Amino acid sequence: MRFARLWAAVAALLIAGTALAGCGSSSTGNSDPSTSKGTIVVASPQCAHCLAMTLLTDKVPGYDVKVEQFGTLTGLAASLAAGKIDVGQIDYTGLVSMIDKGLPLVAISGQVNGGSDFVVSPSVDLDPDDWAAFKDLVLQRKAEGKKFKIASEFGSVQDIELRLQLPEKGIDANQDVEFVNVPYQGMAQALQNGSVDAAIPVQPIAATITNSKIGVHFAYPYDQAAGDLTNVVVVNKDWLAKNPDRIEAVMQGMNTLVPDLSTPQGQKDWAAAVEKYTGTSSADTTTALAQLKPDIAMPFSQIKAIAHAMYEQNLISTDLSVATLKEHIDYGPLSQATGKTPAELGAGS
Protein backbone atom coordinates (compact mmCIF):
# COMPACT_ATOMS: atom_id res chain seq x y z
CA MET A 1 0.00 0.00 0.00
CA ARG A 2 1.31 3.45 -0.90
CA PHE A 3 0.78 4.78 2.66
CA ALA A 4 3.13 2.14 4.04
CA ARG A 5 5.69 2.81 1.32
CA LEU A 6 5.58 6.54 2.05
CA TRP A 7 6.46 6.10 5.71
CA ALA A 8 9.02 3.42 4.92
CA ALA A 9 10.74 6.09 2.84
CA VAL A 10 10.52 8.49 5.78
CA ALA A 11 12.07 5.83 8.01
CA ALA A 12 14.96 5.32 5.65
CA LEU A 13 15.59 9.05 5.50
CA LEU A 14 15.44 9.42 9.27
CA ILE A 15 17.80 6.53 9.85
CA ALA A 16 20.20 7.91 7.28
CA GLY A 17 19.85 11.40 8.72
CA THR A 18 19.28 12.83 5.24
CA ALA A 19 17.28 16.02 4.89
CA LEU A 20 14.97 16.54 1.94
CA ALA A 21 14.48 19.71 -0.01
CA GLY A 22 10.99 21.14 -0.04
CA CYS A 23 11.23 23.86 2.55
CA GLY A 24 9.09 26.87 1.77
CA SER A 25 9.02 30.41 3.07
CA SER A 26 9.91 31.26 6.62
CA SER A 27 9.33 33.94 9.21
CA THR A 28 11.40 34.94 12.22
CA GLY A 29 10.69 36.61 15.53
CA ASN A 30 11.95 40.08 16.27
CA SER A 31 13.85 39.45 19.50
CA ASP A 32 16.78 41.73 20.29
CA PRO A 33 19.88 39.75 19.13
CA SER A 34 21.83 41.08 22.10
CA THR A 35 19.43 39.45 24.57
CA SER A 36 18.40 36.34 22.60
CA LYS A 37 19.45 32.95 23.93
CA GLY A 38 19.61 31.62 20.38
CA THR A 39 17.37 30.46 17.53
CA ILE A 40 14.78 27.69 17.55
CA VAL A 41 13.71 26.42 14.13
CA VAL A 42 10.07 25.32 13.92
CA ALA A 43 8.54 23.69 10.83
CA SER A 44 5.04 22.84 9.62
CA PRO A 45 3.31 21.77 6.40
CA GLN A 46 1.32 24.35 4.41
CA CYS A 47 -2.31 23.97 5.44
CA ALA A 48 -4.71 26.28 7.28
CA HIS A 49 -4.32 24.74 10.73
CA CYS A 50 -0.60 24.10 10.26
CA LEU A 51 0.09 27.74 9.43
CA ALA A 52 -0.98 28.77 12.90
CA MET A 53 2.57 27.79 13.85
CA THR A 54 3.90 30.87 12.05
CA LEU A 55 2.39 32.94 14.88
CA LEU A 56 4.74 31.30 17.38
CA THR A 57 7.61 33.62 16.47
CA ASP A 58 6.99 36.24 19.15
CA LYS A 59 5.60 33.90 21.81
CA VAL A 60 8.70 31.92 22.85
CA PRO A 61 10.38 33.82 25.70
CA GLY A 62 14.09 34.53 25.29
CA TYR A 63 14.57 32.98 21.86
CA ASP A 64 14.38 33.94 18.21
CA VAL A 65 12.00 31.57 16.43
CA LYS A 66 12.39 30.80 12.75
CA VAL A 67 9.38 29.12 11.14
CA GLU A 68 9.66 27.13 7.92
CA GLN A 69 6.96 25.47 5.81
CA PHE A 70 7.43 22.15 4.04
CA GLY A 71 5.52 20.78 1.07
CA THR A 72 5.65 17.20 2.41
CA LEU A 73 5.70 15.51 5.81
CA THR A 74 8.50 13.31 4.47
CA GLY A 75 10.76 16.32 4.04
CA LEU A 76 9.79 17.77 7.39
CA ALA A 77 10.42 14.54 9.29
CA ALA A 78 13.75 13.92 7.60
CA SER A 79 14.94 17.45 8.35
CA LEU A 80 13.85 17.06 11.97
CA ALA A 81 15.91 13.89 12.35
CA ALA A 82 18.88 15.49 10.61
CA GLY A 83 18.89 18.45 12.97
CA LYS A 84 17.94 20.96 10.29
CA ILE A 85 14.86 21.89 12.32
CA ASP A 86 14.22 21.64 16.06
CA VAL A 87 10.44 21.40 16.41
CA GLY A 88 8.01 19.92 13.90
CA GLN A 89 4.25 20.01 13.58
CA ILE A 90 2.79 16.91 11.90
CA ASP A 91 -0.46 14.95 12.06
CA TYR A 92 -1.31 12.06 14.37
CA THR A 93 -1.42 9.46 11.61
CA GLY A 94 2.12 10.45 10.73
CA LEU A 95 3.11 10.18 14.38
CA VAL A 96 1.65 6.67 14.67
CA SER A 97 3.37 5.58 11.47
CA MET A 98 6.71 6.91 12.69
CA ILE A 99 6.30 5.12 16.01
CA ASP A 100 5.52 1.92 14.11
CA LYS A 101 8.82 2.36 12.25
CA GLY A 102 10.69 2.85 15.52
CA LEU A 103 11.66 6.43 14.75
CA PRO A 104 13.02 8.66 17.53
CA LEU A 105 10.26 11.25 17.73
CA VAL A 106 8.31 12.42 20.77
CA ALA A 107 4.97 14.26 20.82
CA ILE A 108 4.99 17.20 23.25
CA SER A 109 1.86 19.23 22.46
CA GLY A 110 -1.42 19.29 20.62
CA GLN A 111 -2.09 22.21 18.27
CA VAL A 112 -5.19 22.42 16.02
CA ASN A 113 -7.76 19.73 15.19
CA GLY A 114 -10.39 19.45 12.46
CA GLY A 115 -9.85 20.72 8.93
CA SER A 116 -11.25 17.77 6.96
CA ASP A 117 -14.29 17.97 4.68
CA PHE A 118 -15.77 15.10 2.68
CA VAL A 119 -17.20 16.74 -0.44
CA VAL A 120 -19.10 15.27 -3.39
CA SER A 121 -19.54 16.40 -6.97
CA PRO A 122 -22.58 18.64 -7.57
CA SER A 123 -23.84 15.88 -9.87
CA VAL A 124 -24.12 13.50 -6.91
CA ASP A 125 -27.63 13.95 -5.55
CA LEU A 126 -27.20 13.53 -1.79
CA ASP A 127 -28.28 15.48 1.25
CA PRO A 128 -25.54 16.32 3.77
CA ASP A 129 -24.90 13.52 6.29
CA ASP A 130 -27.35 11.12 4.62
CA TRP A 131 -25.10 8.11 4.99
CA ALA A 132 -27.90 5.63 4.29
CA ALA A 133 -28.43 7.16 0.85
CA PHE A 134 -24.68 7.34 0.32
CA LYS A 135 -24.32 3.64 1.11
CA ASP A 136 -27.15 2.77 -1.29
CA LEU A 137 -25.48 4.78 -4.04
CA VAL A 138 -22.08 3.20 -3.40
CA LEU A 139 -23.46 -0.34 -3.48
CA GLN A 140 -25.53 0.40 -6.61
CA ARG A 141 -22.45 1.74 -8.39
CA LYS A 142 -20.44 -1.29 -7.28
CA ALA A 143 -23.12 -3.67 -8.63
CA GLU A 144 -23.00 -1.84 -11.96
CA GLY A 145 -19.24 -2.26 -12.12
CA LYS A 146 -18.63 1.49 -11.71
CA LYS A 147 -17.23 1.98 -8.24
CA PHE A 148 -17.74 5.33 -6.55
CA LYS A 149 -14.38 7.15 -6.85
CA ILE A 150 -12.95 9.29 -4.06
CA ALA A 151 -9.97 11.61 -4.50
CA SER A 152 -7.71 11.36 -1.46
CA GLU A 153 -4.11 12.26 -0.73
CA PHE A 154 -2.89 8.86 0.41
CA GLY A 155 -1.38 8.74 3.87
CA SER A 156 -2.81 12.08 4.99
CA VAL A 157 -4.91 12.41 8.13
CA GLN A 158 -7.92 13.19 5.91
CA ASP A 159 -7.33 9.97 3.98
CA ILE A 160 -7.15 7.90 7.15
CA GLU A 161 -10.15 9.58 8.79
CA LEU A 162 -12.36 8.73 5.84
CA ARG A 163 -11.02 5.18 5.51
CA LEU A 164 -11.89 4.68 9.18
CA GLN A 165 -15.29 6.33 8.96
CA LEU A 166 -16.64 4.41 5.96
CA PRO A 167 -16.75 1.04 7.81
CA GLU A 168 -18.65 2.77 10.62
CA LYS A 169 -21.33 3.50 8.00
CA GLY A 170 -21.41 -0.04 6.65
CA ILE A 171 -19.13 0.64 3.67
CA ASP A 172 -15.98 -1.39 2.99
CA ALA A 173 -13.30 1.19 2.26
CA ASN A 174 -11.24 -1.37 0.33
CA GLN A 175 -13.96 -3.18 -1.62
CA ASP A 176 -17.01 -0.95 -2.05
CA VAL A 177 -15.38 2.30 -3.21
CA GLU A 178 -12.25 3.22 -5.13
CA PHE A 179 -9.76 5.63 -3.59
CA VAL A 180 -7.77 7.61 -6.15
CA ASN A 181 -4.50 9.19 -5.03
CA VAL A 182 -4.85 12.90 -5.81
CA PRO A 183 -2.81 15.71 -4.19
CA TYR A 184 -4.96 18.28 -2.43
CA GLN A 185 -4.14 20.85 -5.09
CA GLY A 186 -5.54 18.59 -7.81
CA MET A 187 -8.85 17.69 -6.17
CA ALA A 188 -10.85 20.60 -7.60
CA GLN A 189 -9.80 19.71 -11.13
CA ALA A 190 -10.57 16.02 -10.55
CA LEU A 191 -14.08 16.95 -9.42
CA GLN A 192 -14.54 19.32 -12.34
CA ASN A 193 -13.46 16.88 -15.03
CA GLY A 194 -15.53 14.05 -13.57
CA SER A 195 -12.61 11.70 -12.94
CA VAL A 196 -13.81 11.32 -9.33
CA ASP A 197 -17.20 11.50 -7.63
CA ALA A 198 -15.99 12.90 -4.31
CA ALA A 199 -12.91 14.17 -2.50
CA ILE A 200 -11.53 14.53 1.02
CA PRO A 201 -9.48 17.75 0.97
CA VAL A 202 -7.83 19.65 3.81
CA GLN A 203 -8.54 23.27 4.67
CA PRO A 204 -8.30 25.81 3.11
CA ILE A 205 -8.54 23.83 -0.14
CA ALA A 206 -11.84 22.35 1.01
CA ALA A 207 -13.28 25.83 1.52
CA THR A 208 -12.22 26.89 -1.96
CA ILE A 209 -13.90 23.81 -3.43
CA THR A 210 -17.20 24.27 -1.60
CA ASN A 211 -17.40 28.07 -1.91
CA SER A 212 -16.79 27.87 -5.64
CA LYS A 213 -19.46 25.13 -5.96
CA ILE A 214 -16.96 22.75 -7.54
CA GLY A 215 -17.90 20.36 -4.76
CA VAL A 216 -20.66 20.17 -2.18
CA HIS A 217 -20.13 19.45 1.52
CA PHE A 218 -21.40 16.00 2.45
CA ALA A 219 -19.93 15.19 5.87
CA TYR A 220 -17.10 15.79 8.28
CA PRO A 221 -15.30 12.44 8.71
CA TYR A 222 -15.09 12.53 12.49
CA ASP A 223 -17.54 9.76 13.40
CA GLN A 224 -14.76 7.24 14.02
CA ALA A 225 -12.11 6.36 16.56
CA ALA A 226 -9.76 9.20 15.63
CA GLY A 227 -12.45 11.86 16.00
CA ASP A 228 -11.20 15.18 14.66
CA LEU A 229 -7.69 14.72 16.07
CA THR A 230 -5.32 16.28 13.57
CA ASN A 231 -2.12 18.10 14.50
CA VAL A 232 0.61 17.37 17.02
CA VAL A 233 3.96 19.00 17.81
CA VAL A 234 6.98 16.68 17.88
CA VAL A 235 10.70 16.82 18.60
CA ASN A 236 13.59 14.41 18.24
CA LYS A 237 14.20 12.38 21.41
CA ASP A 238 17.82 13.44 21.53
CA TRP A 239 16.95 17.15 21.19
CA LEU A 240 14.33 16.78 23.91
CA ALA A 241 16.88 15.32 26.31
CA LYS A 242 19.60 17.86 25.58
CA ASN A 243 17.53 21.07 25.47
CA PRO A 244 15.24 21.31 28.52
CA ASP A 245 15.38 25.12 28.55
CA ARG A 246 14.38 25.37 24.90
CA ILE A 247 11.62 22.80 25.36
CA GLU A 248 10.31 24.80 28.30
CA ALA A 249 10.32 27.99 26.24
CA VAL A 250 8.56 26.33 23.28
CA MET A 251 5.87 24.93 25.59
CA GLN A 252 5.32 28.35 27.12
CA GLY A 253 4.92 29.64 23.59
CA MET A 254 2.42 26.92 22.67
CA ASN A 255 0.46 27.61 25.86
CA THR A 256 0.17 31.23 24.72
CA LEU A 257 -0.42 30.52 21.02
CA VAL A 258 -3.15 27.87 21.11
CA PRO A 259 -5.62 29.72 23.37
CA ASP A 260 -4.91 32.93 21.47
CA LEU A 261 -6.07 31.30 18.22
CA SER A 262 -9.65 31.35 19.51
CA THR A 263 -9.64 35.10 20.25
CA PRO A 264 -10.76 37.74 17.71
CA GLN A 265 -7.21 39.06 17.32
CA GLY A 266 -5.79 35.58 17.12
CA GLN A 267 -8.29 34.65 14.41
CA LYS A 268 -7.37 37.81 12.50
CA ASP A 269 -3.64 37.06 12.71
CA TRP A 270 -4.20 33.42 11.78
CA ALA A 271 -6.30 34.38 8.77
CA ALA A 272 -3.61 36.80 7.63
CA ALA A 273 -1.02 34.02 7.82
CA VAL A 274 -3.17 31.63 5.78
CA GLU A 275 -3.80 34.27 3.12
CA LYS A 276 -0.12 35.26 3.04
CA TYR A 277 1.33 31.79 2.62
CA THR A 278 -1.39 30.09 0.54
CA GLY A 279 -2.96 32.95 -1.44
CA THR A 280 -6.39 31.86 -0.23
CA SER A 281 -9.14 34.48 -0.47
CA SER A 282 -10.52 36.14 2.62
CA ALA A 283 -13.91 34.43 2.16
CA ASP A 284 -12.37 30.97 1.84
CA THR A 285 -10.08 31.58 4.79
CA THR A 286 -13.07 32.55 6.95
CA THR A 287 -14.84 29.32 5.96
CA ALA A 288 -11.73 27.28 6.66
CA LEU A 289 -10.97 28.70 10.09
CA ALA A 290 -14.57 28.18 11.22
CA GLN A 291 -13.99 24.43 10.83
CA LEU A 292 -10.80 24.32 12.92
CA LYS A 293 -10.47 23.65 16.65
CA PRO A 294 -7.38 24.86 18.54
CA ASP A 295 -6.56 22.39 21.32
CA ILE A 296 -3.28 21.92 23.16
CA ALA A 297 -4.25 18.56 24.71
CA MET A 298 -3.10 15.17 23.43
CA PRO A 299 -5.95 12.72 24.22
CA PHE A 300 -4.19 9.39 24.62
CA SER A 301 -7.28 7.23 24.20
CA GLN A 302 -7.86 8.72 20.75
CA ILE A 303 -4.21 8.30 19.81
CA LYS A 304 -4.42 4.65 20.87
CA ALA A 305 -7.65 4.27 18.89
CA ILE A 306 -5.97 5.74 15.81
CA ALA A 307 -3.07 3.33 16.15
CA HIS A 308 -5.32 0.28 16.59
CA ALA A 309 -7.60 1.30 13.72
CA MET A 310 -4.60 1.88 11.45
CA TYR A 311 -3.34 -1.61 12.31
CA GLU A 312 -6.73 -3.12 11.50
CA GLN A 313 -6.67 -1.30 8.17
CA ASN A 314 -3.18 -2.72 7.47
CA LEU A 315 -1.68 0.76 7.51
CA ILE A 316 0.95 -0.11 10.11
CA SER A 317 2.69 -3.41 10.81
CA THR A 318 2.17 -3.63 14.58
CA ASP A 319 -0.79 -3.21 16.92
CA LEU A 320 1.14 -0.72 19.03
CA SER A 321 0.93 -1.28 22.78
CA VAL A 322 0.08 1.38 25.32
CA ALA A 323 3.65 1.17 26.62
CA THR A 324 5.15 1.74 23.16
CA LEU A 325 2.91 4.71 22.44
CA LYS A 326 3.68 6.28 25.81
CA GLU A 327 7.39 6.11 25.05
CA HIS A 328 6.70 8.63 22.27
CA ILE A 329 4.34 11.01 24.11
CA ASP A 330 5.68 13.26 26.85
CA TYR A 331 3.11 15.27 28.81
CA GLY A 332 5.69 16.62 31.26
CA PRO A 333 6.81 19.83 29.50
CA LEU A 334 3.22 20.70 28.55
CA SER A 335 2.05 20.08 32.10
CA GLN A 336 4.76 22.37 33.46
CA ALA A 337 3.88 25.14 31.00
CA THR A 338 0.10 24.99 31.49
CA GLY A 339 -0.11 24.12 35.18
CA LYS A 340 -2.45 21.26 34.26
CA THR A 341 -1.90 17.64 35.20
CA PRO A 342 -0.99 15.10 32.52
CA ALA A 343 -4.44 13.58 33.02
CA GLU A 344 -6.08 16.94 32.28
CA LEU A 345 -3.97 17.18 29.11
CA GLY A 346 -5.15 13.83 27.83
CA ALA A 347 -2.89 11.24 29.45
CA GLY A 348 -5.84 9.73 31.28
CA SER A 349 -8.46 10.18 28.56
Burial class (CB in 10 A: 0-12, 13-18, 19+), 127: exposed
Which one is the CATH code of 2-114+230-347: 1.10.645.10, 3.40.190.10, 3.40.50.2300, 3.30.70.20? 3.40.190.10
Burial 139-151 (b: 16+ CB within 10 A, else e): bebbeeeeebbbb
The mean per-residue pLDDT over the stretch 84-106 comes to: 90
Amino acid (one-letter) located at 299: P
CA distance 27 to 56: 10
Contact at 8 Å (CB) between 133 and 218?
A: no
pLDDT band at 251 (very low <50, low <70, confident <90, very high): very high
The pLDDT, as a whole number, for residue 33 is: 52
**Residues 261-316: tens digit of each pLDDT:** 999 999 999 999 999 988 999 999 999 999 999 999 999 999 998 898 888 878 88
- The residue with greater pLDDT, 108 or 34, is 108
Write phi, then psi, for 26 (nearest 5 degrees): -140, 160
Same fold? 2-114+230-347, 118-219: yes
The mean per-residue pLDDT over the stretch 165-193 comes to: 96
For the domain bounded by 118-219, which CATH number is listed?
Answer: 3.40.190.10
* CB count in 10 Å sphere of residue 132: 10
The pLDDT, as a whole number, for residue 31 is: 47
The pLDDT, as a whole number, for residue 29 is: 58
Please report, rounded to a whole number, the percentage of residues in the chain having pLDDT higher than 70.
Answer: 90
The mean per-residue pLDDT over the stretch 331-342 comes to: 97
CA distance 247 to 333: 7
The pLDDT, as a whole number, for residue 78 is: 79
The mean per-residue pLDDT over the stretch 143-158 comes to: 92
Helix (H) or strand (E) run with residue 27 in it: strand 23-28
SS3 286: helix
The residue extents of the domains of the chain are 2-114+230-347, 118-219
Amino acid (one-letter) located at 159: D
pLDDT band at 94 (very low <50, low <70, confident <90, very high): confident
Residue length, the chain? 349
The pLDDT, as a whole number, for residue 80 is: 83
**Residues 7-66: tens digit of each pLDDT:** 344 444 333 333 333 445 555 654 455 567 899 999 998 888 899 999 999 999 899 999
